[in-house]
Amino acid sequence: MKKGINVVWLSEVDLTNLNSGEGESNYIDVKKYKKDRVEYPYVSGQAMRHYFRDAIRRTTDKYICVPDDKGETCGDIEKCIGCDLFGFMLPKKGSGSSVRVSPLKVSPAIGLLSFEDNSTVDFLTRSKYKEIGEKTGGDIVNVELGTNIYKCGISIDIERIGGEEVIDDKERKLSIECGVDENERKERIKLILDAIRYLSDYSKQSRLLTDFTPDILVASVQNRYSHRLQKALEIDENRNLNVNRLKEILEDVMEYGEVYFGMISGVVANEEEVRAIIGDGLLNIDGEMISIGLGMEILTPNKVLKKVMEKL
Ligand SMILES: [Zn+2]
C-alpha cells in the first residue's frame, strides 16, 4: 500500500489580507514573520486547516460533525470524516483524554516576497447612522494589504486515514487498525485533494476577493512516509524559482515515489528555465546541455491532482 501523499504549491495573490495579526481596534494588520530581519506575511497552519475543513464541507454530503457547546467533536472516525481527517482531543470518562492526531498535516502558508516591498495600507470607514439615511461620518479603520507569492503544503498519512494505532499488550507491538474499507479511504483522500482546488473561505472575502489556489504545484505518491517534497519550491526576491533545488528534491523523492509537476504561466520570472529542468534539460547560450532535465511532463496544477487520485 502507498504510505504517503505530499503536495506543495505556490499561489500568487493580488492585494489581500488573508490572516490578521493581533492588531488594534482601528488597525488590521497582516500576520508576519521575520527571516534575516525582513518581514514576510503568512497564514497560520490553523487558519489553513479551517480553510480545508470549509472546502471539504462544501464539496461533500458525507457526515462532518459540528462541535458541541464545549467545542468537542463526536470522535467517531468511521462515521465522521471531520474527526477522521482533522483529529480531536476529547476528555475521557475518569481521567486523561482521547487524542487523535490528524492524518492530514497542513503547513502554514508562507509569503516568499518581502511584505514591505509588496504592500499598502488601505482604510475603510465604519459608517454610523443617526437615523435611517442620515450619515454622520464614522471611524476610520486602516487595513494592511499585500500582494505576494505564498508557499503551502500538505502531507497525508495514508495508513492513518480511517485508521488508528492500537497497542497489542500481549505481543508488545503497535499496529494500525482500519475502521473503513479501501474505497472509503480513497474517497476521503480524494476529498482532501479536491479541497486544494476549492479553497475559498478565507477571511475578509467580501471586500478582498482572492484566489488562493495553486499556480505551481508538485505532488508525490510515496511508498515511504516523508515530508521531503515540502522543500521543492523556493523563489528569490526576483521571482526566480530555484531550479537546482527543485531538481534535487524531486530526484530525491522519486527514489520512493511518483512525482508530478504542474504550472500555469506568468507566475515565476524564469519560467523557461523551469520548463527545461522539468522536461529535457537546461542549455546554455551556446546550446550546450548544462543540466539534464527530469524528463517529466508539465501539467496544470489541476491535472496533477487528478493524476494523484488515479494512482491511489
Ligand atoms: Zn466528528
Contact residues for 173 (Cβ-Cβ < 8 A; gap 6+): 167
Whole-number Å distance, alpha carbon 127 to ligand 1 midpoint, is 41
Is pLDDT at 254 greater than 60 in this prediction? yes
Determine the pLDDT at residue 242: 97
**Length, in residues, of the chain:** 312
Whole-number Å distance, alpha carbon 155 to ligand 1 midpoint, is 21
Tens of pLDDT, residues 64-123: 999 899 889 999 999 999 999 999 988 877 777 888 999 999 999 999 999 999 999 998
**CA-CA distances (angstroms) from residue 172 to 12, 167, 169?**
50, 7, 5
Determine the pLDDT at residue 136: 57
Whole-number Å distance, alpha carbon 80 to ligand 1 midpoint, is 5
Whole-number Å distance, alpha carbon 269 to ligand 1 midpoint, is 44
Whole-number Å distance, alpha carbon 181 to ligand 1 midpoint, is 18
Give the cell for residue 43. 497564514
Whole-number Å distance, alpha carbon 162 to ligand 1 midpoint, is 12
Whole-number Å distance, alpha carbon 56 to ligand 1 midpoint, is 14
Is pLDDT at 258 greater than 70 in this prediction? yes
Tens of pLDDT, residues 79-94: 999 999 999 988 877 7
Tens of pLDDT, residues 166-204: 888 888 888 888 889 999 999 999 999 999 998 887 777
Is pLDDT at 128 greater than 80 in this prediction? no
Ordered by start, the domain boundaries in the chain are 4-114+146-310
Whole-number Å distance, alpha carbon 196 to ligand 1 midpoint, is 21
**pTM (2 decimals)?**
0.91
